Amino acid sequence: MKTIKEGEDQVERKEFGQGILFTFSNYIYWLLMTNLLFVLANAVFIGFFMTLKPDFSNISLYLLALIPSGPAISALFYSMDKLLKTKELSPVSDFIHGYKSSIKTTLAVWISILAAYFILMVDLQYFQQSASSTNQALSIIISLLIVFLSVLSITIMAINSLYKFRIIDLLKLSVYYSFRKFKNSIGNVLILFIVGFASMMTTDFLIIFVSSIVAFFIMLNTREILKDIEFNFLRVEERSPYEQNTLWRGL
């Protein structure tokens, strides 16, 4: 009996090990494939980034090249949220679905974000040209506005990747939850800060290789916000974006 029991224990340990290995290899495959799709969707920006001189005078060209990145980010967020909720992913089909879903709204929101960044970056560059106390104070204010815009952008893109709201309602929700779920908002900024710091220490192309991982942790950190939105602003039948398309609904 002891031999039989030991044999059963060995079989259980083997199955347990194989289960972990299978799950781990699946996650690696899903993350790598989604990352590759994200890179391909951002081929225009990567091409500009590799060929243009890193100078502030090229900022308008960089921002234009970033326009296709909006739907790509939405697709990445959608894919990572599905992976978190369902523990499985069909990288190509899910990425394409996330890319095409509400693409007009995504582009409108993303272009507005890029325009806001452009204005703030130009203003910051202008005020930093002078060392006067007034300009320094204004530079600090604008820098804080850029940080807040980053917080807002992450939240609005995450919400838009899953649910269909009017643009004005997306903005309201993003501002509301950026303050109400302040820890989550700061957490998302810290994730980007860590990636940015790591890029400075290694290579500017680091984000290309870890974009799916970054999106995974952002969506993990944003789950509390998304759950609250589902509970308070969506009907029960609207709470599973992977089974059916959600409906337009204002606040």
- Give the mean pLDDT of 125-143: 85
**Pairwise CA distance, residues 216 & 176, whole Å:** 23
DSSP string spanning 89-129? --HHHHHHHHHHTTHHHHHHHHHHHHHHHHHHHHHHHHHTT
Weakest mean pLDDT among 17-21, 176-180, 216-220: 17-21
CA contacts within 13 A on the Cβ side of 165: 23
- Give the mean pLDDT of 119-141: 86
DSSP string spanning 132-145? -HHHHHHHHHHHHH
Of residues 4 and 207, more confidently modeled: 207
Three-state secondary structure call for residue 18: helix
Q: Which of 70-74, 130-134, 136-140 has the highest mean pLDDT?
A: 70-74
What is the tens place of the pLDDT at every residue in 223-248? 999 989 988 887 655 555 554 444 33
User: Is the model's pLDDT at 107 over the cut of 90?
Assistant: yes
**Mean pLDDT across the chain:** 83
- Give the mean pLDDT of 176-199: 90
Of residues 143 and 233, more confidently modeled: 143
Q: What is the pLDDT of residue 33?
A: 94
Q: What is the pLDDT of residue 225?
A: 92
Q: What is the pLDDT of residue 242?
A: 57
Q: What is the pLDDT of residue 1?
A: 47
**For a pLDDT cut of 70, what percent of the chain falls above it?**
86
Band of pLDDT at residue 52, cut at 50, 70 and 90: confident
Band of pLDDT at residue 118, cut at 50, 70 and 90: very high
* Claim: this prediction has a pTM higher than 0.75: yes
| Alpha-carbon distance values, 217 to 83, 98, 173, 211 (Å) | 11, 18, 21, 10
> Tokens 């290899």 sit at which residue?
25
Q: What is the pLDDT of residue 250?
A: 39
- Give the mean pLDDT of 92-115: 92
Report domain extents, the chain.
2-238
Q: What is the pLDDT of residue 236?
A: 57
User: Is the model's pLDDT at 26 over the cut of 70?
Assistant: yes
* 30 contacts 83 by C-beta, under 8 angstroms: yes
Q: What is the pLDDT of residue 206?
A: 80
Q: What is the pLDDT of residue 199?
A: 83
Q: What is the pLDDT of residue 16?
A: 46
